[in-house]
Structure 1
Amino acid sequence: MNYSSLSLSDMNKENIPVANTQCTTARVTRARAKALGTSGVLPPLHPVVKVKQEHKQILQPKTKRASSDNKSASTDVAPIVQSKRRAVLKEITNNPFNHSSIKLTDGIRLQISNEVKRCTSKKNDRVMVAVAVAPSVCVSPQGKTTTEALNDESIIDIDSKHKGPQMCSLYATEVYSNLRTAELKWRHSVDYMKTVQLEITQEMRSILIDWLVEVCEEYGLASETFYLTVALIDHYLSKKNIGKRRLQLVGITSMLIASKYEEISAPRVEEFCFITDSTYTKGEVLEMEQQILDEISFQLSLPTTKKFLRRFLLAAQSSYKAPIIELEYLANYLAELTLIEYSFLKFLPSLIAASAVFLAKWTLDHDEYPWNGTLEHYTGYKASDLEVTVLALQDLQLNNAAPLHAIRQKYKQQKYKSVATLTSRKPVKLVL
C-alpha cells in the first residue's frame, strides 16, 4: 500500500461532514474528538482500533527505511512500530484509573492536579521548617550552649550572613567543636628533640621549614599546604628517629602529601626530587611517603592553626563595617612565624590562632581593646588565657635580626600589604 495515498485518504475522511461521522473508520485526533464530543456526536471507538491494527499489520513486515521519494508522505502516517516493545499506561497494573467504570472529566483532573500540588507543597514546607529551626546545641568552653550564648547582645552571630552551602553555616559550630577535640587527640610530644631524635636539633628543623617556605612560594602552593606540611613533619619526627641526611627527605615528602591533599594540581614527585638537586630518588620519596602515611594512619585532616585562624578572623572582622585586609594578612604572618619556632609546639593550634588575632588587632589599633565578647565566644579563650602566648608571639614579631627570614621576606611584599614591617608602638603587656 502506498503511504501517501493512505494519508490522503485519512485526511479526506476527517473532512466528512458531522452527519456522516457515525460510519467513519479514520483515525481521530484528540482535537477532533474534543470537537465532536462538544457537538454530541462521537464516532464509534472500535472501528478506529481495527484500522490501527490493520495499519500495524501492513507496516510490520517493512523493516527497512522508506525510500527518499516517500519520506514526505510517510511522515503523515502512524509511527512505525519499534522492535523494542514499550509499555503503555493501560498495561500498568497499579494504575488507579485503568478501571473501565472510572471516567475522569477535565474538571476532576484539574482538581486532582491541584490537590497533588498542594500536598507536595505542604510536604516540602514541613521539610524546610525542620531543617531551618534545628538549633545547634554545642556547648562552648564557657559552659553555655550556642543558642544561649547568641542571645547575649554583645555576641554577633557570624554565621547568620553566610547562607552559601560551602560555608556550612548550619554545621560550623559542630565542625570547630570537633577540631578542638581533635587538637588534643593529635597533640604530639613537645620535647621529641630530646626524647626521640639523636642527631637532629631544633636549629635543623627551623632551617628545613624556612627552606620549605621558599619552595611553597616557588610552586605557588597555598598556606594550608604549608601548615599541613609542618604538622606532618612534627608528627613523624616525634615518632621516628632519623639521621641528618634524611631530614630533607621527610620535609619534601611531607609537602608532597600535603600538596596532594590541599592543592588542585600538586607538583609531581620528580619536581620535589629536582629541588633537592636530585639528592633523593623517586623511589626513596615514595617509600618515605608510605612511612609517613602509616605513622598518621592516613588521617590527613589534622587540626592546624590555619583552620582555627580562618574562623577566628571571621569573628574579629564582624565588629567592623568593612573587612580589614591588613588584619587578615598580619594575623597570618604572625601565625606562620610560630611554625619555625620549635618552642611554640607546647601551645595548642587554637591558642596560637587566637593569640595571633589578638596581637594583630593590637598592632593595627591601640585605641580599641583587642578582645570582645564575640571573640571570646568563638575562640573559647578569655584575654587572660592568651597572655603567655601573645607575649611570646610579640617577641617573634620584634625580632627582626633573626637569621631565618623567609617568612618575613614573604610578607614584606606589596601583595601582602607589607605587614611584616608593622610593629606595635606600645607593649601588648599593657592590655593583658
Structure 2
Amino acid sequence: MSIVNVSFQVEDRSGRITRARAKELSESGDVPCSSKSSGVQKHIVRANSKRVASDDINICSISSSGLPNKRRAVLKDVTNISTKGSDKNCRNASNIQGDKPTRRISAKAKANAPLNAPVEILGAEEDENTRLAEDLSKIRVVESREVSLRETLCHTSGECGVLDMVLSVSSEESIPQPNEKYMASEQSAASSDTGVIDIDSNSKCLQSCSIYAPDIYDRIRVTELDQRASTTYMEQLQRDITADMRGILVDWLIEVSDEYKLVPDTLYLTVNVIDRFLSRNCIERKRLQLLGVASMLIASKYEEICAPGVEDFCFITDNTYTKREVVEMESKVLNLLHFRLSVPTTKTFLRRFIQSAHASYKVPCIELEFLANYLAELTLVEYSFLKFLPSLIAASAVFLARWTLDQSDHPWNPTLEHYTCYNASELKTVVLALQDLQHNASASSLNAIRQKYRQPKFKCVATLASSRSVLSLFEEQD
C-alpha cells in the first residue's frame, strides 16, 4: 500500500475531506470508491442519465460485508431462480444455451470498475442475463412436461421405446391444455345421439364458471355426503325439543329472512347449521330460539353483502336474549362445527338443475324457477326430509315443477338425467312426498312459505297444483 493510500485512510477516519484535498488525491490516481466520495460521483453520473443513477448505487454502494444490494440481486441475478431438481436439468439447460458462458458482473468487479466506465455495457449485460433467465425458465417448463409425459407413458405401457417418437412433437401439441380437453369432451357429449344438451357451451354468465362447472359439481356431490346432519337426532339425542318445535322455529326464521330481505342461500345455510348443531349437542327448549338467531347471524355473515347486526337479531326476538348471549351462542356453534360453513344445500343444486331444465325451452320459464324454489323451501320446515340428500330434493323439486306446469309430456329427459345423475325411478319417493306438501295434505299451520310465494312477484306459484297425480308417471314405467 502506498503512502498516499495510508494518508487517505487516516484522514477518512479522522475527519472530513475537503474538495481541494479530494482533487489532489484524484490527480495522484489513488482514490478508491468510498462512501465519502460517492456523493460527488453520484452527482456526476446522475447528470448523464437516469439509468446511471440506479446502476451507480449498485456499483458503489457496497455494504461492510461486501454484499451487493439485495433487491437488485434478486430481480436480476439468474442464479436466484429455483434450482430445485436434478442435476440433469442443469446440464441440459447448459447444453441448450451453448458453449457461450453467461457473463455476470460480480460485486467485486462492480466495486473496482472505474467511474467513467460506460454504464450502457453493464445494462446490456444485465438485460442479456434477464433474457437468459426467461429462456432457462421456458426450458425447464418443457423439461418438466417431458418428464411427466415420460412417467405416464412408462407407467401405462411399461416400455419407454416410444418416447423418442412422442417427444419429437412439440410440447404444446403433445400435452393438451385443460380447457381444450374439457371442450373436446363436452363437444363429444353434446354431439352424441343420447339427446343430452350441453348447457355450458353457450353460457355467457361469468359467475356460472361453465368451464369448471362439471368438476365443481362432482366435488359438491361428494361433499354433501360428508357434511350431512344426523337424520335421527331428535329420537337419539334431544330430550327437551321435538320435530314440531324445530318446524315452528324454521317457519319463524323464514319470516325473519323475508323481513330483512336475506338471500335464499342464507336461509338454507341457517337451517343446515341448526340441524348440524342439534345432531351433536343437546339443547333446552328455552334456548332453541337463541340457537336459531345465532345460526342466522352466522349464515348472514357468510352469505350476505350487508349482514344484519347482532342488535337486529336481539330486536327481532323482542330482546328476549341479550347481545352477549347471542355472541356466546354464535361462538359455541362455530366451535362445535369447526367453522365448516362451505356446505352444499338444496339451493346449491337447484341452480344447476333449473338451468338444465331450461335447456329444452326456447325461452326460459320464470314460473318453473319460482315453483321449484317454492317446493324446495317447503322441505326446510319438515324434519322428515333430512333423510334425503339435498341433490335428490332439488332434482325432485324440478321434476314436480315441470309436471305441475305441463302435464302433456314427461317431465324428465336425458339432459336432466345427465346433469342430476338421477333417473325418474329414483325420484319417486321424494316426488310423492313433495306433492303431499304441495297439496298441504297434513293441513300444516306453518304457512310462512306459502304466504311468501302467493305474492305476485313470485307469480303466485303457491296457488298452483297439479290436477293429475304424479304417481301415474311411475306406474307407467313399472
TM-score (norm. length: structure 1): 0.70
- After superposition, the C-alpha distances for 1:58-113 in whole angstroms (9 at most, x for unaligned) are xx69xxxxxxxxxxxxxxxx98988992346443233449xxxxxxxxxxxxxxxx
**Residue 284 (structure 1) aligns with:** 325
Q: How does 1:214-233 map onto structure 2 within 5 Å?
A: 214-233=255-274
- Residue 312 of structure 2, aligned match among 271, 284, 301: 271
Amino acid at match of 1:342: Y
Q: Is the 8 A contact 1:207 1:404 kept in 2?
A: yes
* 2:126 alignment partner, SS class: coil
**Residue 12 (structure 1) aligns with:** none
Instruction: State the 1:188 CA deviation.
Output: 2.0
* 1:94 paired to 2:126: yes
- After superposition, the C-alpha distances for 1:322-360 in whole angstroms (9 at most, x for unaligned) are 100000000000000000011111111110000000000
User: In 2 relative to 1, CA 82–364 (structure 1 residues): closer, same or farther, beyond 3 Å?
Assistant: same
CA distance in 1, matches of 2:321, 2:183: 50
Q: Is the 8 A contact 1:136 1:173 kept in 2?
A: no
**Residue 134 (structure 1) aligns with:** 181
CA distance in 2, matches of 1:399, 1:80: 88
Query: How many correspondences in the alignment?
Result: 329
User: In 2 relative to 1, CA 274–321 (structure 1 residues): closer, same or farther, beyond 3 Å?
Assistant: same
User: In 2 relative to 1, CA 126–297 (structure 1 residues): closer, same or farther, beyond 3 Å?
Assistant: farther
Ranges in structure 2 where 5+ consecutive residues have no aligned partner: 1-39, 56-118, 130-169
* 1:266 alignment partner, SS class: coil
* 1:382 paired to 2:423: yes
Where do 4+ consecutive residues of structure 1 move more than 4 Å? 78-84, 125-129, 145-150
Q: How does 1:21-420 map onto structure 2 within 5 Å?
A: 85-87=53-55, 89-92=120-123, 93-96=125-128, 130-135=177-182, 149-150=189-190, 151-399=192-440, 401-420=443-462
* 1:428 paired to 2:470: yes
Instruction: State the 1:136 CA deviation.
Output: 8.0
**Residue 28 (structure 1) aligns with:** none
Q: Is the 8 A contact 1:206 1:342 kept in 2?
A: yes
Instruction: State the 1:167 CA deviation.
Output: 1.6
Amino acid at match of 1:320: Y
- After superposition, the C-alpha distances for 1:244-299 in whole angstroms (9 at most, x for unaligned) are 11000110010000000100010001111111111111111111111111222111
Instruction: State the 1:166 CA deviation.
Output: 2.1
* 2:330 alignment partner, SS class: helix
Instruction: State the 1:223 CA deviation.
Output: 0.3
CA distance in 2, matches of 1:332, 1:190: 23
Q: Is the 8 A contact 1:149 1:377 kept in 2?
A: no
Instruction: State the 1:425 CA deviation.
Output: 1.4
Q: Which has the higher contact order (CA 8 A, sep 6+)?
A: 1
Instruction: State the 1:388 CA deviation.
Output: 0.6
Sequence identity, in percent?
A: 54
User: In 2 relative to 1, CA 96–184 (structure 1 residues): closer, same or farther, beyond 3 Å?
Assistant: closer
User: In 2 relative to 1, CA 342–86 (structure 1 residues): closer, same or farther, beyond 3 Å?
Assistant: same
Amino acid at match of 1:428: V
CA distance in 2, matches of 1:269, 1:127: 58
CA distance in 2, matches of 1:363, 1:232: 32
User: In 2 relative to 1, CA 240–365 (structure 1 residues): closer, same or farther, beyond 3 Å?
Assistant: same
TM-score (norm. length: structure 2): 0.64
- After superposition, the C-alpha distances for 1:210-231 in whole angstroms (9 at most, x for unaligned) are 0001100111100000000000
Amino acid at match of 1:217: D
User: In 2 relative to 1, CA 82–385 (structure 1 residues): closer, same or farther, beyond 3 Å?
Assistant: closer
CA distance in 2, matches of 1:216, 1:128: 50
CA RMSD of aligned residues (A): 3.0
Deviates more, 1:365-374 or 1:394-403: 394-403
- After superposition, the C-alpha distances for 1:114-167 in whole angstroms (9 at most, x for unaligned) are xxxxxxxxx9x9899724312289xxxxxxx97875434400011111254422
**Residue 66 (structure 1) aligns with:** none
CA distance in 1, matches of 2:232, 2:209: 37
